[in-house]
Chain A
Amino acid sequence: AQSVTQPDIHITVSEGASLELRCNYSYGATPYLFWYVQSPGQGLQLLLKYFSGDTLVQGIKGFEAEFKRSQSSFNLRKPSVHWSDAAEYFCAVGVYYTDKLIFGTGTRLQVFP
């Protein structure tokens, strides 16, 4: 069955430091992959998505993610974190022909000044 794993429940970084959030998926074919951000008290907002093509995708707010088929990973990165990036981040895999997204359990990011 398809699944998404986010191994880090909680990450703390200093403002200005680089960030990498991990995401691993289990899916038989090439997946549709997504990263969403949930700011406190808000709904989820799409940061970026991968469907095919270039394995390095750029998103909003300065985020990028790289699809690595050999590692079944889709890690989210940002070179310099801002205090406003503190939020919960969800990785999701889209399962074609099932009309659904499967979400990971989320990673809470805390940013210290």
Chain B
Amino acid sequence: EAQVTQNPRYLITVTGKKLTVTCSQNMNHEYMSWYRQDPGLGLRQIYYSMNVEVTDKGDVPEGYKVSRKEKRNFPLILESPSPNQTSLYFCASSLAGPPAYEQYFGPGTRLTVT
């Protein structure tokens, strides 16, 4: 089944403790992206990647890192999480860059930073 998977689905952590949220797609998509969803703000893009070893900042990149060493994986790294990074995070992928190509979304990761 074609899908985007994220792990973990739920995570509670403390300020400053490094964490990684994994994202993997099995559709051989070139484009991958991370969003955060906050009430009243909709989805905002954090980082995106057009292909392996190619990443770029989205609208809200501060406090996040990404890497794209393999085509299928695009982990999101929070080196020193803070409470303002408490949010719902979505990974998405598409055959090539939007808007011409449909983005497929993962189920989301709900992160709480205390």
Contact = CB atoms under 8 A, between A and B. Distances in A.
A43 B42 contact: no
Interface residues of A, number: 26
A43 B97 contact: no
A44 B105 contact: yes
A50 B98 CA distance: 13
B98 A90 contact: no
B43 A100 contact: no
Contact of B43 (A32, A46, A90, A96): A90
Contacts of A75: none
Interface size class of B (residues with CB under 8 A): 20 to 34
A57 to B, nearest CB: 14
Q: Taking chain A's interface residues, is the majority helix, strand, or loop, or is none over half, making it mixed?
A: strand
Most buried by A among B44, B50, B105: B105
Interface stretch (A65-73, A78-86, A101-109): A101-109
Given A44-B105, A99-B50, A32 B42 contact: no
Given A43-B106, A45-B105, A90 B99 contact: no
Nearest to A4: B42
A46 B92 CA distance: 12
B99 A32 contact: yes
Contacts of A105: 40-42
29 contacts: A32-B98, A32-B99, A34-B99, A36-B105, A41-B107, A42-B107, A43-B90, A43-B106, A43-B108, A44-B92, A44-B103, A46-B102, A90-B42, A93-B99, A94-B98, A95-B99, A96-B99, A99-B31, A99-B98, A100-B33, A100-B48, A100-B98, A101-B45, A101-B98, A101-B103, A103-B35, A103-B44, A104-B42, A105-B42
Given A93-B99, A99-B31, A99-B98, 18 more contacts: A4-B42, A9-B40, A36-B105, A41-B107, A42-B107, A43-B4, A43-B90, A44-B90, A51-B100, A90-B42, A94-B100, A96-B100, A99-B97, A100-B58, A101-B45, A101-B99, A103-B35, A103-B43
